[in-house]
Amino acid sequence: MRKRLTGKLRERYAVQAAIAFGAAALYAMLRGLPSVIGFLRGLFEAAAPVTAGLGLAFVLGLPAGFLERRVFSRLRVKPRTARKLALVSTLALLVGSLAALFALILPRLGESARILAENSGRYLDSARALLRRVVGSFRGAAEADRVTELLIDSAAGRVRETAEAALERLPGMTVSAVTAVYRAVLTLVICVHTLVSREGLLRFLRRAATAVLPQRRIPGFFRGCSLANVTFRRYFSAQLISALMIGGAGYIGMRALGVPFPELIAVFCAFGALVPIVGPWVSIGVSALMTAASGGAELAVRFVILMLAIQLVEDNAVYPKLIGGAIGMTGLEVLASVIVAGGLMGLPGLLIAVPTVAVARRLIKSAVDARNAARAEAAETA
């Protein structure tokens, strides 16, 4: 009896000590959370060229794999030669796309930006009249004039403050531009090297994982890697195709409607489509305001209807077939993952949040299901 009581006391003290230790560790973690986040951000920034190069290599591996499997393999080319031809074709496609961007699209974007700047006064008057009409329908003409001028003055003040801050940071921006060019070149070098030596890197990683991990953990590790590969590949393929479709269809529709600056808006909407949930709505909203200021409220409404129709078709008819069952997340989970990852990592976090959380969610679900199945089997045998 005494031994049983002593054992219970030890167990209770152990539980209390574990709770106290966990509370102290949680307090220390929360107290030093800003420092930890700052350290992680600095680490991510220092490793940005490497991670960007690996990410770009993964994205470029999608068309390279497609060309290798669907084009060169059917031409009865040897596997190693087909892989090299697919890599060269993908790099040529990348260089050609960049050349087309600089030669065709960027001049039109620059022309659109120039026209937008030259007619900013007229667009401001149109925006003022639109605001006065909207506010006047609720509060009367006198109140509409006051509220409109207040909003316009506030917006103009923000723009002026932003321009002054940009001028003050101009020397630093020059250095940042040089640094950005250097990082872009380094990213491209890492990307090309990764694509060229992809098979060797994969063999090395497999041998390293087999040598380091326990024998019983190796099958689960490789299953997780395979799941991550399939999820990321399907997700980025679907996002890229979706962005191209939205940008292309939007450009054709805007040309038909006569929307000003169709190149600028189409590129903006295409980039917005790369960010789940938030990106399309933000790009459509900003573009609608630009269209209303330059072409009037009626044209902006037509533009919104056009983009919503394109988005509706893409979300319900095209995107599900592209993504398949690779994600398996609710809208709330996608939104939460995008917000958290974007706050921690910025733009890279916005791009990789959804597939990362999807992989983690599936791995956790598989582990939980396996544990419950093992317990149920143990209970049946007992």
Give per-residue pLDDT as tens, 138-191. 666 666 666 666 766 776 667 666 666 655 665 555 556 677 777 878 888 888
* pLDDT tops 80 at residue 254: yes
Q: Where are the domains of the chain?
A: 223-372
> Could you tell me which of 94, 115, 159, 120 has the C-alpha nearest to residue 264?
115
Q: Hey, which of 2-16, 30-44, 148-162, 221-235 has the most confident mean pLDDT?
A: 221-235
Phi first, then psi, for residue 78 (nearest 5°) are -60, 145
Token readout for 264 is 């600028």
| Confidence label for 7 from pLDDT (cuts 50, 70 and 90) | low
pLDDT of residue 70: 79
Higher pLDDT, 310 or 339: 310
109-141 burial string, b = 16+ CB within 10 Å, else e? beebeeebeeeeeebeebbbebbbeebbeeeee
Averaged pLDDT of the chain: 76
Q: How far is CA 155 from CA 51, 141, 283, 319, in A?
A: 38, 21, 19, 38
Higher pLDDT, 326 or 256: 256
pLDDT of residue 5: 47
Residues 46-75: pLDDT tens digits? 777 788 788 888 878 878 877 877 787 777
CA dihedral 249, 277, 49, 200 (to 10 degrees): -80
Whole-angstrom distance, CA of residue 372 vs CA of residue 380: 12
Any residues with CB less than 8 A from the CB of 48 and at least 6 apart, and which?
183, 348
| Confidence label for 285 from pLDDT (cuts 50, 70 and 90) | confident
10 Å CB burial of residue 201 (0-12, 13-18, 19+) is middle
Q: How far is CA 373 from CA 224, 369, 370, 376, in A?
A: 19, 6, 5, 5
Least confident of 92-101, 111-120, 189-198: 111-120
Contact between residue 246 and residue 314 where contact means Cβ atoms under 8 Å apart = yes
DSSP alpha helices (H): ranges in 68-119? 79-100, 106-118
Q: Hey, which of 15-29, 116-130, 164-178 has the most confident mean pLDDT?
A: 15-29
CA dihedral 180, 186, 187, 192 (to 10 degrees): 150
Q: What's at 1, amino acid-wise?
A: M
Which string of DSSP letters, residue by residue, matches 271-300? HHTTSTTHHHHHHHHHHHHHHHHHH-HHHH
Q: How far is CA 362 from CA 198, 203, 321, in A?
A: 26, 26, 20
Higher pLDDT, 367 or 134: 367
Query: Once rounded to an integer, what is the mean pLDDT over residues 88-96?
Result: 82
Contact between residue 323 and residue 234 where contact means Cβ atoms under 8 Å apart = yes
Token readout for 343 is 């706050």
DSSP alpha helices (H): ranges in 213-330? 218-257, 262-272, 278-295, 297-313, 319-323
Q: What percent of the chain is predicted at pLDDT more than 70?
A: 69
Contact between residue 44 and residue 345 where contact means Cβ atoms under 8 Å apart = yes
Least confident of 18-32, 124-138, 162-176, 312-326: 162-176
Whole-angstrom distance, CA of residue 265 vs CA of residue 255: 11
Residues 317-338: pLDDT tens digits? 777 766 655 566 766 777 777 7
pLDDT of residue 382: 63
| Confidence label for 233 from pLDDT (cuts 50, 70 and 90) | confident
Least confident of 204-213, 285-294, 303-312: 285-294
* pTM score, whole prediction: 0.66
pLDDT of residue 336: 78
Any residues with CB less than 8 A from the CB of 81 and at least 6 apart, and which?
72
Contact between residue 221 and residue 213 where contact means Cβ atoms under 8 Å apart = yes
Phi first, then psi, for residue 157 (nearest 5°) are -65, -40
pLDDT of residue 113: 64
